[in-house]
Structure 1
Amino acid sequence: MSRIDETKEFIPVRIAVLTVSDTRSVSEDRSGDTLVARIEAAGHVLADRQIVKDERDEIAAQLRAWIADPGIDVVISTGGTGLTGRDVTVEAHRDVYEKEIDAFGTVFTMISFGKIGTSAVQSRATGGVAGGTYLFALPGSPGACKDAWDEILALQLDYRHRPCNFVEIFPRLDEHRRRK
């Protein structure tokens, strides 16, 4: 079973938060606020925070900019993962992924099912890796952001988490680029 190995030192991760919304401003961004509060409470660094419209090209451009930034290790977006015509966050994420973390969406759905039942099928939460950066797309509700952070990301972004975690493999995410 998973656990935190207190003999290991905590390593803070630099995380950017992207809210995808046609209508929200930072002052109205409860989901973004939820993520920021949890990131900082866990001891990680908020590297940047932006809001972009539900436009696939704009979302992908912001993701690519953060992937290229050596000061950002992880990007968490919130919003635009549903089924409506304006929900294009998942497609934008997949435009930039080198590898998708399929089990992230599966585990998120399992957690959501326990809380909202069959309504969990309407979420398309996803995760992936590009350019040595982890990317996660979460639904736009504060509850979904809490669930994803508290039950998945807080553990996987903690170097002390055992049996394994995302942080310990950071150095290997772009090893294919270093091969001769």
Structure 2
Amino acid sequence: MSRIDESRDFIPVRIAVLTVSDTRTPEDDRSGDTLAARIRRAGHVLADRKILRDERAEIATQLRAWCDDRGVDVVLSTGGTGLTGRDVTVEAHRDVYEKEIEAFGTVFTIVSMKKIGTSAIQSRACGGVANGTYLFALPGSTGACKDAWDEILEPQLDYRHMPCNFVEILPRLDEHKRRK
């Protein structure tokens, strides 16, 4: 079972938040606010925050920019993971991924099922890695952002979380690109 190893020091990571929406503004971006507050409360650094419209190329461009920024370790996007025609965040993420973290979507669905039952089937939440950076696409609902952070991301982004976590392998995500 998972646990926090208090003998290990907490290591803050730098997290960027992208809200994908045709209608949200900084004044009413509740899901982005929720993620930003939880990031800070956990002891991490909010490295950047933006709102973009549901445009696949623009989303992918922003994701790539953050992946190229050594000041960003993790990107969390919220919105655009559903099934409608304007929901293109998942496609933009997959345009950027070098490796997909398939289990993220599965675990997110399990967590969501406990809260919203079979309606969880309508989410295409996903995660992946690109250029040494973790990327996670979360649904736009505040509840889904809370669930993803509280149940999955907060523990996995805590270096003290055992038996393993995302932070301890962060330095090795792009080892294939280093000179041997």
Same fold (TM over 0.5): yes
Give the drift of 1:165.
0.1
- Aligned-residue Cα RMSD (Å) equals 0.5
5 Å-filtered alignment, 1:32-71, equals: 32-71=32-71
Distance in structure 1 (CA, Å) of the matches to 2:53 and 2:137: 15
Q: 1:52: how far off?
A: 0.4
Provide the rounded CA distance (Å) in 2 between the counterparts of 1:127 and 1:118: 21
Distance 1:64 1:171 in 2: 18
Whole-Å Cα distance in 2 between the matches of residues 64 and 25 of structure 1? 22
Deviation per CA, 1:14-73: give whole Å up to 9, x if none. 000000001110110000000000000000000000000000000000000000000000
Task: Find the aligned partners of 1:117 and 1:88 in 2 and give their Cα distance.
Answer: 24
Give the secondary-structure state (helix, strand or coil) at the position aligned to 2:76: strand
Q: Superposed, which structure 2 residues align to 1:4-23 within 5 Å?
A: 4-23=4-23
Alignment partner of 1:88 is 2:88: yes
Q: Which runs of 5+ in 1 are unaligned?
A: none
Distance 2:179 2:5 in 1: 32
In structure 2, distance between residues paired with 1:50 and 1:68: 16
Amino acid at match of 1:58: E
Note the C-alpha offset of 1:171: 1.2
What are the residue-to-residue correspondences of 1:141-160 with 2, within 5 Å?
141-160=141-160
Instruction: Say if 2:72 is the partner of 1:72.
Output: yes
Instruction: Describe the superposition over 1:122-176 as per-residue Cα deviations: whole angstroms up to 9, x where unpaired.
Output: 0000000000000000000000000000000000000000000000001110010
Match of residue 131 from structure 1:
131
Which residue in 1 is equivalent to 2:112? 112
Shift of 1:179: 3.9
Task: Give the Cα separation in 1 of the matches to 2:63 and 2:176.
Answer: 21
**TM-score between the two structures when normalised by the length of structure 1:** 0.99
CA distance in 1, matches of 2:174, 2:41: 29
Letter in 1 for 2:26: V
For 1:2 and 1:179, locate their aligned partners in 2 and report how far apart those are by CA, in whole Å. Answer: 35
Give TM-score, length-normalised by structure 2: 0.99
Q: Secondary structure at the match of 1:11?
A: coil
CA deviation map 1:77-97 (0-9, x unaligned)? 000000000000000000000
